[in-house]
């Protein structure tokens, strides 16, 4: 996966949708990452997981237009654990684009990460949130991507597929998603 391409796509979409009309701090963006992780916790508490098989079945029946994609996303993926984890990654990729970070040398597959296999979902999300704050102050906020990717690998979540679907969904949404101020 080319993280720089994902970064550029996330950033360009955020600019086009008005999310960078005001200059915001890194703390602002990282707090929003934490909010996405907490939305993932809420989705897990409600047992809301994406139904990728139904989504793909629907999308492959015939050529679908954007409205049909939005429908399938809304009923197969939206507000699920996988969707919220994708949002956290997209927010980090957007921040990397905003700040001009080069993610080409970012080794997300070979990096040293936590072992999430013995942690509950909530413990895992807490540990990832700790990485948000700890690594921010060491000027390494993108180490957090490694942690989310590692968690997803452990839980057999194809996070790159979900990021791709969420980015397409975001591109089709209205300016500032209709009513959000940040």
- pTM reported for the whole predicted model: 0.93
Residue with tokens 């699920």: 80
How far is residue 11 from each of residues 8, 20, 93, measured CA to CA in Å? Answer: 5, 9, 7
Q: Per-residue b/e over 26-49, b at no fewer than 16 CB within 10 Å?
A: eeebbebbbebbebbbebbeeebe
Q: What is the pLDDT of residue 110?
A: 62
The model's pLDDT over 12-27, given as tens digits with 9 standing for 90+, comes to 999 999 999 999 998 9
- pLDDT bracket for residue 107 (50, 70, 90): low
Cα maximum dimension of the chain? 49
Element (H, E) at 7: helix 3-16
């Amino acid at each position: 996966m080319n993280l720089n391409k994902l970064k550029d796509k996330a950033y360009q979409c955020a600019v086009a949708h008005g999310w960078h009309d005001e200059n915001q701090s890194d703390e602002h963006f990282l707090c929003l990452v934490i909010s996405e992780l907490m939305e993932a916790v809420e989705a897990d508490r409600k047992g809301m997981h994406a139904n990728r098989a139904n989504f793909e079945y629907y999308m492959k029946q015939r050529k679908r237009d954007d409205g049909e994609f939005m429908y399938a996303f809304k009923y197969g993926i939206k507000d699920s654990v996988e969707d919220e984890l994708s949002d956290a990654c997209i927010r980090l990729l957007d921040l990397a684009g905003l700040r001009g970070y080069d993610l080409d040398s970012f080794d997300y597959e070979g990096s040293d990460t936590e072992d999430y296999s013995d942690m509950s979902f909530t413990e895992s999300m807490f540990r990832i949130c700790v990485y948000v704050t700890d690594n921010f102050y060491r000027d390494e906020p993108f180490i957090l991507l490694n942690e989310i990717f590692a968690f997803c690998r452990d839980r057999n979540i194809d996070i790159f597929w979900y990021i791709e679907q969420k980015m397409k969904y975001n591109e089709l949404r209205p300016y500032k998603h209709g009513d959000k101020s940040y």
